[in-house]
Amino acid sequence: MAIGCGFLLAIVMLCFESQLFLYPAFWAVSLIFIIPLLQRLRWSFMSIKTTSDDPPRFIKGPWKNLRIYSFTGYVRGSTTRSDTSVSGKVHTIVSASSTVGNTVEGSVSSKTTVTDSFRLVDTRNKQESNFQLQDYNVQLWENQLVSVAWAISKGKTEGPYFAVVNHSTGDRFFKRQDLWKIAQPGFGGCLAAIYVVPSIFLAFNFIALMVLAAATQAQLSRFKSSGIGPLVEVLNQRAKELPPL
């Protein structure tokens, strides 16, 4: 829905900017800011796939330099916490007339973050690992077999979680923002501003950004349905090898 509205907005922008098409400076500025976006567009049309090697890895693309780590074990302790933050303000305008009521102006918005905390126990070596995942909406129960997978770039010590697999139920859980970090590495902060800010004023850049968003969304859907399959097979095999509690 949001992407569709974005394309409609782009059409409106083209209508307003059509008078600028005769000026070379317009095309020069558009080209300068769209060139870095073209590489990310190329990435977005590639499929993100994992291998069934042990340990698994990503195949080609900018994510091939990511190392996949995982932990499989039985759930021992699982809690869910919701935190709500409120921002904004409202104020009351007192009417001077006794026949007119007071007016309330302003707005308030709230954001709720759900944090799932759980501990996994590997019964082969009694190793334990604690996890805290935000907005994954994982559904885990005591003594279920579960795997958590995350990816770390070479030379770094941490990286995003990207999948939770409940082997007892067959369910898989993902978070779009974390998958985006894998599909479009480094796309955030000041780098994202380089793409987004010019797109507010340049129609062709805005269209390219909308295509990037739509293509990446489809790319992540393919990954969740099939690209992650080989990795899940490896994790399923590891889960079968764990002795019971």
**Crossing angle for the helix pair 203-222 and 189-201, to the nearest 10 degrees:** 130
DSSP state of 96: S
Other C-beta atoms lying within 10 Å of the C-beta of residue 7: 13
DSSP state of 48: P
User: With helix as H, strand as E and coil as C, how does 117-150 read?
Assistant: EEEEEECCCCEEEEEEEECCCCCCCCCCEEEEEE
Residue ranges in the chain whose pLDDT is less than 70: 1-23, 88-108, 188-191
Q: Output the CA torsion 135→137→141→144 (10° steps).
A: -90
DSSP state of 184: S
DSSP state of 47: P
Strand, helix or coil for residue 30: helix
Convert the pLDDT of each residue in 49-106 to its tens digit.
999 988 899 988 888 889 999 999 999 988 988 888 777 666 666 555 555 555 666 6
Strand, helix or coil for residue 51: coil
